[in-house]
Amino acid sequence: MNGAQVVVEALKREGVKYIFGYPGGACMPIFDALLDAPELELVLVRHEQGGTHMADGYARATGKPGVVLVTSGPGATNTVTGLLTAQMDSIPLIVLTGQTITPNLGKDAFQEADIFGVTMPVVKHSYLVKDANDLPKVMKEAFHLATTGRPGPVLIDLPKDVVSAECTANFPENTDLPGYEVPMKGNADDIVRAADIIMESRRPLLYVGAGAVGSGASKEVLKLAEKLQAPVTTTLLGKGAFPETHELSVGMLGMHGTAYANKAVVGCDMIMAIGARWDDRITGKVSEFCPTASKIHIDIDPAEFGKIIQPDVSINGDARLVLQELIPHVHKLDSGPWLKSVASWKKKYPLKYPKRGGLRAQYVLDELDRLSESRGIISTDVGQHQMWAAQFCKSSRERQWLSSGGAGTMGYGFPAAIGAQLGCPNDLVVAVVGDGGFQMTLAELSTAALQRVPIKILIIDNRYLGMIRQWQELFFDQRLSGCDLEGNPDFVKLGEAYGVKGFRIRRAGDVTKVLKKALAYNDGPCIIHAEVVKEDNVFPMIPAGAAVKDMLIEKPKDRKLEKPVGST
C-alpha cells in the first residue's frame, strides 16, 4: 500500500464511519484512496471550520473520536478555531492535514503553512510525518492519545510525497508511548481522606463537570448523590452528568447559573469537584470562593490541581472509577436542614421571565423543552441564547448537551448539530443558535441539506449581538458599539434557497403550534426563525471578577454597576 491507503486502512481499523473533509491538492492522494473504502463516508463540508465543528459535535454526542481531512495551507489553518474549541473542552478529534512535499518544507511553497507550529498550543499532540513507514504507528498512537486520559484533538500533518510513497511497515496491535501514563482508579489513601472530609460535612455540594461526562460517570454521580443526600450542581459542559429533573439537582452554577445553585455554593461547607476545573466562570472572585468550605477535587489531569483553587484533597484518576472506589466509604449524611434550605431557595428564586411585552427567547426554549420532554440533543452557539438554553432546556442524560465552553466559539452550534445527528440518527437534535453566530457558519446549510439530517435549527433572532449589548447596557452606560446586527437576512428565505424548510415565530401565541410542526418535520433539516424582543437580559448574573455572593438576580434599578474585570 502507499501512504494514503495506509491512512485509510488505519481509519477503518479504528472503526471510523464519517470523515468530515474538504479536498485540495496536497491531500488528493487520500481522497483518491477513499474511493476504494466504501466503509468510510465522506461528508463534504463547505468550510474547514464547519468540518471541525461537525467532527466535534459527533464526538460529544457519541463519545467516539471525530475525524477531519483537509488540505494544506489555508485549508489547514481554517481548522484552528475548531481545534481550539476541542482542546479547551477536552474533545477527541483526529485532524488530518495535507502538506507540501518534504523537499519544499520551510521554503514557502504553494499553500504551505507550518501547521505543526501554528497549532501546537491548541492540540493535545501533533505529528509531522516524513516517512511513509511511520504512518501505521502514528495513526495508532493518534487515536490512543486523542481518546485516553484527558481527551483532546490530535493533528497529523501529511506531506503529499509521504502519502504517495510505498509503505512496508505492519500495523501495530498496541501503542508504546514511554512517559504517557493514564491514571485510572486514584490513590487509595486520598480516597479515604476524601471520604473522611465528606462524612464530616452537613452542607455538602457535588460540583460536576465535563470530565464526568467524558468518563461516563453519570450512574456513579447519581448513586453518590442519593447515598449522601447531597445536592448536585453542574457546569455548563457538565449538563447531563446528573439529571436536571432530579430533586437533588440545583442546575447549572456560575456566571449565569441558577440563583439557587449559586446560593448553595455560598452556603456549603464541603464542595467536591468531579471532572471540573474551577474555571473563572464558576469561581468569580477566587479569594472569596467558598472560603470556609472543604474542597475535594477529582480529575484525570493532575495539571488542574491547585491551578485555580487549592483543594484539601486531590484525587488523580478517572472520575467513574474513583467514584466507584469512593462510594463504599461513605453513607447518608445529616443533610436534612441543608436540603430544606436549598428547597427554599428554589422556591424563592426560580428561573423566570416576563410573560408580556413581546416574544421572549426564554419562553420559546421553555416550550421546546416541554414539547420534547427534555429528551433532545441540544447544540448551541455562544451568547444569550446559549445561557437561556442552558437554563430552560433540561438535560436528563449525558451527551445530550453540546456547547462551546472554554473557547466560547460563535458558529459552533449549527455544524456541531449536523455531526451529532449523523452520529445519533434516531435522536432529536436541535441547534439553538443566535442570529450572529449562525451567520458565521451558515454555508453548512448546503451540507445539512445534502445529508438530509433532520436537525431543527432554532434561530433566536434579536437583531443584536445580545450578550455584547447586555454588557454595554449594564457596565458601559448603554454606549452601544458594534453590536447592532442591522442587515440580517430573512432566514426562512435563506433556508429555502438551500432547499431547507422554514418556519416563523413572531408571536408568543404561535410558539407551541409552530414548534409542534417543526418537531414533526423529519424530511431533512428545517429552520425555525424566532423573532424575539430586541432588548432582553440574561439573569441571574455574576459580573466578571465579582464574588459568587454578589450575584444579580435581576437588573439593579438604583445603582450603576462597575465595569467588570475579565471578558464577556
**Domain end residue (candidates: 304, 319, 348):** 348
Closest C-alpha among 51, 34, 35, 53 to residue 43: 51
For the segment 254-264, the average pLDDT, to the nearest whole number, is: 96
Percent of the chain with pLDDT over 70: 98
Per-residue pLDDT tens over the stretch 515-549? 999 999 999 999 999 999 999 999 999 998 899 99
**CATH code, domain carrying 98:** 3.40.50.970
Residue 562: its pLDDT value, please?
64
For the segment 174-201, the average pLDDT, to the nearest whole number, is: 95
199 and 322 in a single domain? The answer is yes
DSSP state string for 475-543? HSTT---S-B-TT---HHHHHHHTT-EEEEE-SGGGHHHHHHHHHH--SS-EEEEEE--S-----SB--
422 and 531 in a single domain? The answer is yes
For the segment 113-130, the average pLDDT, to the nearest whole number, is: 98
Q: Is 262 helix (H, G, I), strand (E, B) or coil?
A: helix
Catalytic hit among 48, 304, 398, 444:
48
* 313 sits in which H/E element: strand 313-316
471 and 418 in a single domain? The answer is yes
Residue 118: its pLDDT value, please?
97
Residue 296: its pLDDT value, please?
98
For the segment 450-454, the average pLDDT, to the nearest whole number, is: 98
Residue 556: its pLDDT value, please?
77
Confidence of residue 163 (pLDDT cuts 50, 70, 90): very high
Per-residue pLDDT tens over the stretch 4-53? 999 999 999 999 999 999 999 999 999 999 999 999 999 999 999 999 99
Beta strands 18-21 and 66-70 are parallel
**Domain end residue (candidates: 282, 313, 348):** 348
Peptide bond into 92 cis (omega under 30): no
The pLDDT mean for the chain works out to 96
For the segment 404-425, the average pLDDT, to the nearest whole number, is: 98
Q: Is 186 helix (H, G, I), strand (E, B) or coil?
A: coil
331 and 396 in a single domain? The answer is no
Residue 171 a catalytic site member: no
Q: 330 vs 194, 209, 241, 247, 339, CA distance in Å?
A: 10, 21, 20, 21, 18
Residue 544 lies in a domain: no
Catalytic hit among 110, 247, 373, 513:
110
124 and 147 in a single domain? The answer is yes
Residue 561: its pLDDT value, please?
64
* 127 sits in which H/E element: strand 125-128
Q: How many domains does the chain have?
A: 3
365 and 505 in a single domain? The answer is yes
Per-residue pLDDT tens over the stretch 217-235? 999 999 999 999 999 999 9
CB 57 within 8 A of CB 415: yes
**Domain end residue (candidates: 164, 196, 211):** 164
Residue 170 lies in a domain: no
Strands (E), 168-259: 204-208, 232-234, 249-252
Rounded to 5 degrees, what are φ and ψ at 488? -55, 145
Residue 499 lies in a domain: yes
Residue 545: its pLDDT value, please?
86
Closest C-alpha among 427, 481, 420, 488 to residue 459: 488
Catalytic hit among 160, 263, 295, 346:
160
Residue 111 a catalytic site member: yes
Residue 451: its pLDDT value, please?
98
Residue 249 lies in a domain: yes
336 and 366 in a single domain? The answer is no
145 and 192 in a single domain? The answer is no
Per-residue pLDDT tens over the stretch 322-357? 999 999 999 999 999 999 999 999 999 999 999 888
Evaluate if residue 142 carries a pLDDT over 70: yes
CA distance linking residue 45 with residue 58, whole number of Å:
14
331 and 408 in a single domain? The answer is no
CB 463 within 8 A of CB 491: no
Residue 160 a catalytic site member: yes
Catalytic hit among 17, 64, 111, 501:
111
Per-residue pLDDT tens over the stretch 164-183? 999 999 999 999 999 999 99
CA distance linking residue 317 with residue 491, whole number of Å:
47
Residue 467 a catalytic site member: yes
Return the DSSP state at 26.
G
Distance of CA 342 to the CA centre of its chain: 28
Residue 568: its pLDDT value, please?
47
Per-residue pLDDT tens over the stretch 477-489? 999 999 999 999 9
Q: Is 72 helix (H, G, I), strand (E, B) or coil?
A: coil
pTM of the full structure: 0.96
406 and 447 in a single domain? The answer is yes
Per-residue pLDDT tens over the stretch 66-86? 999 999 999 999 999 999 999
Catalytic hit among 54, 255, 272, 467:
467
Domain range for 250 is 188-348
Per-residue pLDDT tens over the stretch 297-316? 999 999 999 999 999 999 99
Q: Is 388 helix (H, G, I), strand (E, B) or coil?
A: helix
* 468 sits in which H/E element: helix 466-475
